[in-house]
Amino acid sequence: MVTKQELVNGYETEIKYQRHMLENLGRWFSLLFITASIGVVLIYLFHKTFLPLLIFGILLALIGILGMVVFGYGIYRGRINLQKVIDDFNQKLTILN
């Protein structure tokens, strides 16, 4: 049988860990946004003059945008999961009290 204090410590640790991971996903999202922005700038500046930089800009923009979609979805699902953990924790606390 798990004591109330062990239950509280376990849930607090899990909630803290998931919040930290959501912050990490947010940092990656920002990095990918910067990558996509640099790609767009390269496309804008070199669309008529220098083909290799135009292609590189297109690749950066595509990688950045696709990565933002993936990490954005991860943040969305992570927030839902974190809320489920918090709700479960609150439910178990009310049962124990």
- Return the pLDDT at 3: 86
CA angle 79, 80, 81 (to 5 degrees): 90
Query: Is the pTM above the cut of 0.75?
Result: yes
The domain total for the chain is 1
Q: What is the pLDDT of residues 2-55, one digit of tens each?
A: 888 999 999 999 999 999 999 999 999 999 999 999 999 999 999 999 999 999
Burial 61-77 (b: 16+ CB within 10 A, else e): beebbebbeebeebbee
Per the domain annotation, does 5 fall within a domain?
no
- Return the pLDDT at 97: 78
87 vs 93: CA distance, rounded Å:
10
Domain span at residue 88?
10-94
2: left (phi over 0), alpha (psi -120 to 50) or beta: beta
Q: What would the two tokens of residue 33 be?
A: 């946004």
Over 90: is that where the pLDDT of 75 sits?
yes
Per the domain annotation, does 36 fall within a domain?
yes
